[in-house]
Amino acid sequence: MTITQLYYVLAVAEHQNFTKAAEKCFVTQPTLSMQIQKLEDQLDILIFDRSKKPIELTEVGKKIVTQAKNIVNESNRIQDIVDQQKGFIGGEFKLGIIPTVMPTLLPMFLKAFIKKHPQIKLKIEELTTEQIINKLNDGHLDAAIAATPLENETIKERVLYFEPFVAYLPEGHHLSSKTELEINDLEINNILLLEDGHCFRDGIINLCKAFKSHKDETFQLESGSIETLIKLSNEGLGMTLLPYLHTQDLSEKAKKNLRYFKEPCPAREVSLIYHKSGLKMQIIEAMQTIISGIIRGAITYQNVKIISPLSKK
């Protein structure tokens, strides 16, 4: 049994196709098939049910894949140990970022990070929290930036910053006369929300549920982007809540529609998250250092109340 054979097994388990798995592993399909067949013969079991379309794992195959992930991760740790001993911070690093953080945080730290660590080859994907967790567990991401706490036993979290919620009110809204808002002012059925699947949306729903009774009614409007929510609000279709960093690039006219909350203001916790196996920790620590240093001057709120993105349905 070899690490390479296990790597091939994981590739077929992921793609459910020998040809696609071979392309992923940069080998010919006969080579990959032969190595998996050799492993099956050695173990005297079938890992894959080749009669199914697409190919499926057998029951024992599922257990083997779970263990193979652990073994491959641990083998990768050897290179991490060597890199840390040499003080080397480089190589490929796959990072996921949730959609409501990507457009504001990424431009703030990316240039500084690349300049400080030119030997790191960053691959960045915009993903939902659910997609991020799945990819971290499957080994397809090294780390991610997401709203926390996630309360997931396979995921480690390092808090980067706390980002307050800011209300955006259309002209003539009944709350416009207030200079500061309280959480009790919020009415969930009068708030424009992101589409289902966004953790920022779940955080807003949980915020409203926590402070007043709420009936599960159909929301007035939902959208896929914060920019669209602002446009809908400008049309008088309701208020919305924005992450603090999204308010910084608004026009002076648009900023007049903002209302901040009295402290402790509602906020989300944004963290650098990674699998508990803890691979590439030297890069994770380097990223945390740079982001924390940059964000410190951008968000100065001290007294905040963290709203969990977890759905409490």
Residues of the chain with CATH 3.40.190.10: 89-160+270-302, 163-267
- Position with higher pLDDT, 224 vs 155: 155
CATH of domain 3-84: 1.10.10.10
pLDDT, average across residues 76-93: 80
Q: Check: CATH 3.40.190.10 for 89-160+270-302?
A: yes
pLDDT for residue 124 is more than 90: yes
Q: Does the pLDDT at position 72 exceed 70?
A: yes
pLDDT in tens, 174-216: 888 888 888 888 776 677 776 555 566 666 666 655 444 444 4
Q: How far apart (Å, rounded) are the C-alpha atoms in residues 220 and 135?
A: 33
Backbone angles phi, psi at 311, to 5 degrees: -70, 135
| Conformational region of residue 176, where left means phi above 0, alpha means psi within -120 to 50, and beta covers everything else | alpha
DSSP string over 62-84 = HHHHHHHHHHHHHHHHHHHHHHH
141 has a pLDDT exceeding 90: yes
Within the chain, all domains assigned CATH 1.10.10.10 are found at 3-84
Task: Report pLDDT for 203.
Answer: 66
Whether the pLDDT of residue 50 is over 50: the answer is yes
What's the mean pLDDT in 231-242?
84
Whether 93 shows a pLDDT value over 90: the answer reads yes
The pLDDT tens digits of the residues spanning 101-114 come to 999 999 999 999 99
- pLDDT (tens digit, 9 = 90+) per residue, 267-283? 889 999 999 987 888 99
CA distances (Å), origin 234, targets 73, 229, 230, 255, 267: 50, 9, 6, 12, 23
Residues of the chain with pLDDT > 90, as a percent, come to 50
Q: Please tell me the predicted confidence (pLDDT) of residue 223.
A: 45
Length of the chain in terms of residues written: 313
Q: Mean pLDDT score of the chain, rounded to an integer?
A: 85
Percent of the chain with pLDDT over 70: 85
How far apart are alpha carbons 191 and 205 in whole angstroms? 10
CATH 3.30.300.30, applies to 163-267:
no
pLDDT score recorded for residue 11 = 93
**Count of other CB atoms within 10 angstroms of residue 157:** 16
Whether the per-residue pLDDT at 252 is higher than 80: the answer is yes
Residues 6 or more apart whose CB falls under 8 angstroms from that of 60 comprise 45, 46, 47
Q: Is the predicted pLDDT of residue 236 greater than 70, yes or no?
A: yes
Average pLDDT over residues 72-77: 80
